[in-house]
Amino acid sequence: MKKEMKKKIPLLLILSGLSGSAWVSASETIAANKEEQQSIHGGVFDTTSDVLAGTNGNNQVLLKDSSGKVRVIGEGAVGSSNSALEKLTILVDRTPPVITFQWLNAMEQADEVIIGPKSEVNIAVNEAQLKQITIDDQILNVPGMTQRIKFNLAAKSLQVLAEDEFGNVSQSKLVLKPDFESPSITWDLTAPAIKKGGQWFAGKQADLVLSATDNVAMGTVHLNQQAVDWIDHPLSVNEGDELQVTDALGNVTTEKLAWQVDSMAPTVVVTVENEKQAATKRFSVRVNELIDLTTMDLGVGVKLQKYKGKSRKWLPLPKKFRFTSKGNYRIKVISEDQVGNTLETTLKFKVKR
């Protein structure tokens, strides 16, 4: 023993000669006669001496009972309630508890964790107790071995304090980076839809190409609450559908699809001798009267128009012509507007002298 060490340390070892067991605290030293100290880890000590002394040895067994404390069983004392404990092996637990974090809807990086409104963390510690959890400046008293935290608000730091039964303490501090910004989305309709003056014109149904970006990472896209594959795939949508885009952290952008619906097909316009005729499929004219045939659209305009008479060949409209002999004639007309609405009809002309 080193006599020059005079610092007094409370006696942390309680011996029981009757039971053959001892309770051990998480200390690396033990005082002898309240004046001398020595390392106790792994040492074998004579319990009958005034000064605990001995040589290193490993002939004893370290156990745990239901109270969670450590009990050291002495040599020759296992199962005996009357035998005196002559020597005792002391083992010290100086290992701090391990704190583990399991994240959900978050992104763990080397030096920080990115969180959002759907982020959660399960905190657990083995064979110890959680003593305190601090989120920014808010302190939570959370006794127990596990704790779940939901981040419905932004936070920048998370600190966890845990302690085992021998006083070993662990502290973990995590840097949090909050991302509560929703994804940004843009969309365009594909042909035959058309955009004029910043306004989309299309039929009730159209194909849509979606573009979505996010500060961290994209998650899912839902159309009318149904998940859809949108990357490199146009979506078939109806005017009034709801589009919902969610990023990897749970931030959501919702948009109701709206455009100018043009579902009216073009109409035929027939003018005879500069007099516009009523909208019908039957016309009565005279030989050599000038007829002007075309189509018109009340929405975004006509994209193509053609007619076919006796030649059985489609020719472009508008067309001015005359019938040179009396008789009954048929002319087929097709027309399509800019958003894909189509007209196909047959006009009948009765020509008199």
Which residue type sits at 109? Q
> Quick one: tokens of 222?
């839902």
C-alpha dihedral (229, 232, 235, 239), degrees to nearest 10? 120
- Identify the H or E element spanning 320: strand 319-321
Strand pairing class (205-213; 235-238): antiparallel
- What does the pLDDT read at residue 50? 31
* Number of folded domains that form the chain: 4
**CB contact at 8 A, 5 and 37:** yes
88: burial class by Cβ within 10 Å (0-12, 13-18, 19+)?
Answer: buried
- Residue 153 placed within a domain: yes
Residues 210 and 226 in one domain: yes
Residues 31 and 83 in one domain: yes
- Residue 2 placed within a domain: no
- What does the pLDDT read at residue 319? 94
Tell me how far apart the alpha carbons of residues 208 and 236 are, in angstroms, rounded to a whole number: 6
DSSP β-bridge partners for residue 171: 161
Query: At 306, which CATH number?
Result: 2.60.40.10
Strand pairing class (129-135; 157-163): antiparallel
- Residue 3 placed within a domain: no
SS3 label, residue 264: coil
Residues 128 and 160 in one domain: yes
The domain boundary residue, chosen from 34, 62, 90: 90
The DSSP 8-state label assigned to residue 265 in this structure reads P
Tell me how far apart the alpha carbons of residues 332 and 310 are, in angstroms, rounded to a whole number: 10
Residues 188 and 173 in one domain: no
- Residue 33 placed within a domain: yes
Residues 252 and 196 in one domain: yes
The pairs formed by 271-280 with CB atoms below 8 angstroms and a separation of 24 or more are none
Sign of the Cα torsion 27, 31, 37, 42 reads negative
DSSP letter string over 73-96?
EPTT-TT-SSS---EEEE----PP
The domain boundary residue, chosen from 90, 123, 152: 90
- Residue 324 placed within a domain: yes
Query: At 223, which CATH number?
Result: 2.60.40
Residues 195 and 219 in one domain: yes
- Residue 4 placed within a domain: no
- Residue 127 placed within a domain: yes
Residue-range definition of the domain harbouring residue 317: 267-352
Strand pairing class (113-115; 169-178): parallel
Instruction: Identify which of 297, 291, 350 has the alpha carbon closest to the alpha carbon of residue 326.
Output: 350
Residues 334 and 285 in one domain: yes
- Residue 78 placed within a domain: yes
> Quick one: tokens of 231?
């990357």
Tell me how far apart the alpha carbons of residues 325 and 287 are, in angstroms, rounded to a whole number: 6
- What does the pLDDT read at residue 166? 78
- What does the pLDDT read at residue 91? 60
226: burial class by Cβ within 10 Å (0-12, 13-18, 19+)?
Answer: exposed
Strand pairing class (199-202; 194-196): antiparallel
Residues 272 and 338 in one domain: yes
Residues 103 and 84 in one domain: no
Residues 54 and 39 in one domain: yes
* Number of other residues whose CB lies within 10 A of the CB of residue 106: 24
Q: What HEC string does 107-154 produce? A: EECCCCEEECCCCEEEEEECCCEEEEEEECCEEECCCCCEEEEECCCC
- What does the pLDDT read at residue 78? 35
Q: In degrees, to the nearest 5, what angle opens at C-alpha 191 toward C-alphas 190 and 196? A: 90
Residues 42 and 81 in one domain: yes
CA atoms within a 13 Å half-sphere pointing along the CA-CB vector of 82: 0
* Number of other residues whose CB lies within 10 A of the CB of residue 153: 12
- What does the pLDDT read at residue 284? 93
> Quick one: tokens of 236?
């078939």
The domain boundary residue, chosen from 243, 261, 279: 261
What does pLDDT average to in each consecutive run of 10 residues of the chain (353 residues)? 31 31 38 35 44 36 39 38 46 82 94 95 93 93 88 95 89 96 94 90 93 90 94 92 95 96 93 89 94 93 93 91 94 93 94 92
- What does the pLDDT read at residue 92? 65
- What does the pLDDT read at residue 89? 53
> Quick one: tokens of 147?
């704790």
